[in-house]
Amino acid sequence: MRLGRILTAMVTPMNDNLEVDYQEARRLAKYLAEHGSDGIVVAGTTGESPTLSGEEKLELFKVVKEAVGKNVIVFAGIGSNSTAASVALARKAVDTGVDGLMAVVPYYNKPSQEGMYQHFRTIAEATPLPLMLYNVPGRTSANLLPETVLRLSEIPNIVALKEAVGVMDQVSELKRILPEDFEVYSGDDSLTLPMLALGCSGIISVASHVIGDEMKKMTDAWFAGDTKTALQWHLNLMPVFKGIFITANPVPIKYLVNTLGLKAGKVRLPLVDATPEEERFLTELLQKIKEN
């Protein structure tokens, strides 16, 4: 199953009362589809998954898939640190029309490698949908090791991994031992090109909300064999890749999406909005990229 090169981890638009704005979610999804995104991940960390209810997530899955149709793949973020809760949400997500599921390594309870294996296997066996694993030790305090991913790759509908470990040796080991058709995606915008060089498939991106067209030029150049142009794009875009994490994600990217005239709204507590100084930094950051 080929998932594309750039999948955007979409923010969840909120209205002034911090209720999910489903109409703006449709609008944003269509915008992303028109600006470089081959796919969209809904209700991931960037989508403020910890503060979304199950009902809100299911409605988001439905409206985003309806908005983009068959041309853009939609993955539903159903993972949590409860296997039973993840399975229950995964089963309900099937009826929303999404193309696949994404589940993060269980956070806070720090499972063993065997615990992670059993967690993901149980989720995968609960539905026929393709499942993408998500490894982000900086948020979960647990690292899904390559040997465990290899075991999981033997389960037919576990098809991909979003890898945000940030260690190229681990990525190299993944690519060394995994089947060629098992797709590995960067979970960090700044590591997109380095991970492409290691044979990975693309990026689950935050930055693509605002520089999706430019990122598409970078990945297109790489896959066309024009490594010099791809590198130049990487270097040009690096300030945005790093700058959008000046404070907790998705605070900066929501602010920038708002500046584009798309109504992403604000963030729910315990996150708080960007400070005036952070807003000035982010505005100047994006202006410099767009002027070059």
- The per-residue DSSP string of 161-182 comes to EEE----HHHHHHHHHHS-TTS
| Cross-strand partners of 202 | 185
Q: Phi and psi at residue 260, in whole multiples of 5°?
A: -80, -5
Q: In the annotation, is 134 catalytic? A: yes
- Alpha carbon distances (Å) from 201 to 23, 60, 117, 220: 31, 26, 23, 12
SS3 184: strand
Q: Phi and psi at residue 75, in whole multiples of 5°?
A: -105, 135
Q: Phi and psi at residue 277, in whole multiples of 5°?
A: -65, -40
* Cβ-Cβ contacts under 8 Å for 110 (sequence gap 6 or more): 141, 142
The HSE-up count of residue 124 (CA atoms within 13 Å, CB side) is: 21
Dist CA 93 CA 112 (whole Å): 27
Structure token pair of residue 273? 């909005």
The HSE-up count of residue 22 (CA atoms within 13 Å, CB side) is: 14
SS3 210: helix
Dist CA 64 CA 89 (whole Å): 17
Of 134, 216, 217, 266, the active-site residue reads: 134
Q: In the annotation, is 162 catalytic? A: yes
Of 162, 216, 254, 266, the active-site residue reads: 162
Q: Which of 208, 212, 204 is nearest to 183 (CA)?
A: 204
Dist CA 91 CA 17 (whole Å): 30
Dist CA 158 CA 125 (whole Å): 9
Catalytic center residues: 134, 162
